[in-house]
Chain A
């Protein structure tokens, strides 16, 4: 679907298996630095340049006209080709013949345009967005002109060493019949492609002027469901929105553009409107990148089980089995990314012997944040299917005590299987509702709670989420998460020598399920946020929409598919500093005065929700 490729990243090429590997999967830090500047597409840049030049040319021409009326034809002929040549500079090497003819066309165009301008009497300042309707045909011409240029370029790309057509003919004589046939076929394909492109161009020519379509037009579009038009419109609107002041159509508000964009994105990527609105709020600039990233699967990652093997040995064994893999990144010493494999990666003898586990890169993060130590007592409150649990146990080297709990008995069976396969002996698996766990046992050194969530961060895994989540679901999740987090905090022991930490994580990116929940816990219990110990990822939101959170929420970490090539994820690390419960003692108000208003609003909402 036309994802932009990163030209800056070069794939190493050369002999040998290692050299031929694919691009690194993690596009971490540089990606993040880069993405705050909005990039224009190649087409957009070209168009923008054309427009500037045209405006300049017209300005010059006009000056001439005002100077003297007579002999204007000759003058214009003299000035215009200069512009044409200037415009041609990037690709003016081979096609001089076409160029001259094109110049003439352009000259004619500008002349015509000039006349139009004179008639309608627009000032030059407005020319960029004011387009008389009569000019539609002219724009079309322009578009086809552009496409012709492109074709020439493309041809040059494809047949980098091919010469002029005359030479071709000369060569054709001493070609084999097969080669001739191939050549003909290629020519035919080229023509076909050109025609198809022109077709598309004429279809979408109307939106080239960035005029928001009327209601009727949209209805027509939705009936025909032409996704190419919708996609083009998305691009146009994003282009307008990136510099709204100068690119907007007069008399149309930002809201109209946004609502149209939302509708188009919903159609194109098939989301429901509520979710799309939330996402647009989260990613005002990078919404398209995010949605595109959701369409692609994340790479398969595995975690080496340090209890049974080392990553290097495991990698060697798997390479011998015909698996193409690489370390996951600098941030993990146990992760491997699997690019492709000749054997089923989930059924090799090594997998069965528990040397590794299939685990998404994002689920390493909460465990790394938890930083379990040996001989501690640790609780994993929502453990199934046991990926994080086994990682915790491996970090504890099978010492201490690990309690894995899950509310669902069938899912808890998966934990048992994974634990035994990975050779973990220090774990007790139980099946309680997480909210009841403080009644069963407390006094843990560390607690990990990977709360059940709406799954808006893992759309690529489960596309159902796109359509079946609405506000009610999100708030229901949020409510459950608050209860679970409070229970987790109650299970933790503040007086623990080595710990007293709680890590909260979700695979959702909604603020309601993340920052809001943490903010709630900060007010209800004696906990504070501490740095998660993850040196990448985005900071959590302190202010978002109607919400005003505690300033320390910037210590939480968010991970997105499009910036980190991980599942959408949220990680927060809390330190418990007192076992007292705030509501009962009243001596430790944790919220600021500033926050109190919002607190009321939010608690009001919760009450309603209850």
Chain B
């Protein structure tokens, strides 16, 4: 367990800002205590500082997880967000996509979102913008990338993909083993 290096921080924050923009600083400057990001087993954990200090007692081999896991660094040095970060992305999301209840299950099984399943979308979403996916009851389901801008979405036919799937909460069941 160690703090992130400058380079890692840069990659990580770049990725994060695709979804929540400048709201990252709200994650770090919190009124209810000091929080920090820590790297352990190539994974980035977001954890309260007191808890992190206590967790220092536990040896590296025996420590499995602390706080919330945001994602992991691949061997190539890229950062990949995990579904476990959703709890912190959803409240600060800049751009959102709502899926109809008929397409909810589709998305939860790992499929992209078609125009036919699109319920609502934030105005002025640019193409390839990171978006958080919600159900029509405002239940966060996952996140992805907008395949079309809001303008383009209006005029496409129903079977075109409007948002690419990246992660969904179905992964808690589908890939519990690889989650961490």
Interface residue ranges, A against B (CB under 8 Å): 346-347, 349-350, 352-353, 377, 401, 403, 409, 412-417, 419-421, 423, 425-432, 440-441
Residue of A nearest to B105 (CB): A349
- The listed residue with most A CB atoms (<10 A of its CB), out of B62, B63, B140, B170, is B62
Q: When the two chains form the complex, which single residue of B62, B84, B140 contacts A420, counting CB atoms closer than 8 Å?
A: B84
- The answer to whether B169 has its CB under 8 Å from any CB of chain A is yes
Q: How far is the CA of A503 from the CA of B85 in the complex (A)?
A: 33
Smallest distance from the beta carbon of A321 to chain B beta carbons, Å? 11
Count A/B pairs, Cβ under 8 Å.
93
CB-based contact A431/B139 at 8 Å: no
Greatest chain B CB density within 10 A among A401, A412, A430 is at A430
State whether B50 touches A423 (Cβ < 8 A): no
A409–B180 alpha-carbon span in the complex (Å): 12
19 CB < 8 A contacts A-B:
A349-B104, A349-B139, A352-B141, A353-B169, A401-B54, A412-B64, A413-B64, A420-B68, A420-B87, A420-B179, A425-B68, A426-B48, A426-B51, A426-B67, A427-B67, A428-B63, A430-B62, A440-B57, A441-B58
B55 beta carbon closer than 8 Å to chain A: yes
Contact between A416 and B65, CB atoms less than 8 A apart: yes
Contact between chains at B140 and A431 (CB < 8 Å): no
B69 at interface (Cβ–Cβ under 8 A)? Answer: yes
B169 touches A425 (CB 8 A): no
* Contact across chains for A417 and B51 when beta carbons are under 8 A apart: no
Q: Is the CB of A425 within 8 A of B173?
A: no
Given known A-B contacts A401-B51, A428-B66, A417 and B176 have beta carbons under 8 A apart: yes
**Interface members, chain B 57-111 (any A CB < 8 Å):** 57-59, 62-69, 84, 87, 104, 108
Within 8 A of A (CB), among B132-161: 135, 139-141
* B165-180 at interface with A (beta carbon < 8 Å): 169-170, 172-173, 176-177, 179-180
A349–B141 touching, CB < 8 Å: yes
- Interface contact A414-B176, CB-CB below 8 Å: yes
Measured in the bound complex, the distance between the Cα atoms of B60 and A428 in whole Å is: 12
Bound form: Cα–Cα A412–B173 in Å: 15
Q: Are A428 and B54 in contact (CB under 8 A)?
A: yes
Q: A401-B51, A416-B180, A428-B54 are in contact. Are A349 and B169 (CB under 8 A)?
A: yes
A414-B104 Cα distance, complex, nearest whole Å: 25
Chain B's nearest CB lies how many Å from the CB of A287? 40
Which chain A residues border B87 with CB–CB below 8 Å?
420, 423, 425
Closest to A343 in B: B105
Contact check: which of A421, A425, A429 meets B172 at CB < 8 Å?
A421
Report the bound CA distance from A353 to B172 in whole Å: 9
**Count of interface residues, chain B, beta-carbon cutoff 8 Å:** 34
Contacts of B179 on A, CB cut-off 8 Å?
413, 416-417, 420
Instruction: Judge whether A420 and B69 touch: CB under 8 Å.
Output: yes
Q: How far is the CA of A403 from the CA of B50 in the complex (A)?
A: 13
A425 vs B36: C-alpha distance when bound (angstroms): 12
Residue of A nearest to B52 (CB): A428
By a CB distance below 8 angstroms, the chain A residues around B173 are 346-347, 352
**Complex CA–CA separation, A403 to B180 (angstroms):** 18
| CB-defined contacts of A417 to chain B, threshold 8 Å | 172, 176, 179-180
Q: How distant is B44 from chain A, measured CB to nearest CB, in Å?
A: 13
Chain B neighbourhood of A353, CB < 8 A: 139-141, 169
Q: Does the CB pair B48–A425 fall under 8 Å?
A: yes
A120 to B169, CA, bound (A): 82
Given contacts A428-B63, A429-B65, contact A441 B54 (CB under 8 A): yes
Residue of A with least CB distance to B59: A440
A423: chain B residues within 8 A (beta carbon) = 87
Cα separation A429 to B57 with both chains bound (whole Å)? 12
CB distance from A356 to the nearest CB of B (A): 13
CB-CB nearest in chain B for A406: B64
Rounded to whole angstroms, the CA-CA distance of A421 and B170 in the bound complex is 10
Q: How far is the CA of A403 from the CA of B51 in the complex (A)?
A: 10
Residues of A within 8 A of B139 (CB): 349-350, 353
Docked-complex contact A401 and B50, CB < 8 angstroms: yes
Given A420-B172, A425-B47, A431-B64, 11 more A-B residue pairs with CB atoms under 8 Å apart are: A352-B169, A352-B172, A353-B139, A417-B176, A417-B179, A420-B84, A423-B87, A428-B58, A430-B58, A430-B62, A440-B58
Report the minimal beta-carbon distance from A445 to chain B, rounded to whole angstroms: 13
Nearest 6 Cβ contacts at the A-B interface: A352-B169, A420-B84, A429-B65, A429-B64, A428-B66, A428-B55
A209 CB → nearest B CB, Å: 59
**In the bound complex, what is the Cα–Cα distance between A416 and B175 (angstroms)?**
12
- Once A352-B172, A420-B84 are accepted as A-B contacts, the answer to whether A432 and B62 lie under 8 Å apart by CB is yes
Contacts of B46 in A (CB 8 A): 425
Contact residues in B for A346 (Cβ distance below 8 Å): 173
* A424 nearest in chain B by CB position: B68
Known: A413-B177, A425-B48, A428-B54. A352 touches B108 (CB 8 A): yes
Q: Determine the distance from Cα of A191 to Cα of B55 in the docked complex, in whole angstroms.
A: 75
Least CB distance from A586 to B in Å reads 31
List residues of chain A with CB within 8 A of the CB of B50: 401
Residues 104-136 of chain B: 1 if any A CB is under 8 Å from the residue's CB, otherwise 0? 100010000000000000000000000000010
Residue of A347, A352, A419, A431 with highest tally of chain B CB at under 10 A = A352
Note all chain A residues with C-beta closer than 8 A to B68.
420, 425
- What is the CA–CA distance of A352 and B169 in the complex, to the nearest angstrom? 6
Residue ID in chain A nearest B61 by CB atoms = A431
Question: CA–CA, A545 to B146, complex, Å?
Answer: 70
Cα-based distance from A389 to B61 in the complex (angstroms): 22
Q: Is the CB of A430 within 8 A of B172?
A: no
Contacts of B176 in A (CB 8 A): 413-414, 417
* Cα–Cα distance between A413 and B178 once the two chains are bound (Å): 9
B9 CB → nearest A CB, Å: 21
CA distance A430 to B40 in the complex (A): 13
A153 to chain B, nearest CB (A): 53
Tell me if B66 and A429 are in contact (CB < 8 A).
yes
Contact of A431 with B62 at beta-carbon distance under 8 Å, contacts A420-B68, A441-B54 already known: yes
Which residues in A have their C-beta under 8 angstroms from that of B65? 415-416, 419, 427-429
Q: What distance in Å separates the Cβ of A419 from its nearest Cβ neighbour in chain B?
A: 7
Q: How far is the CA of A350 from the CA of B101 in the complex (A)?
A: 13
User: Which residues on A sit within 8 Å (CB–CB) of B54?
Assistant: 377, 401, 403, 428, 441
User: Cα distance A420–B57 when bound, in Å?
Assistant: 22
Tell me how far the C-beta of A318 lies from the nearest C-beta in chain B, rounded to whole angstroms.
13
On whether the beta carbons of B169 and A409 are closer than 8 Å, the reply is: no
- Min CB distance A157 to B, Å, is 47
How far is the CB of A245 from the nearest CB of chain B, in Å? Answer: 60
**By the criterion CB–CB under 8 Å, are B57 and A441 in contact?**
yes
Residue numbers in A under 8 Å from B48 (CB-CB): 425-426
| Chain B residues whose C-beta falls within 8 Å of the C-beta of A409 in the assembled complex | 64
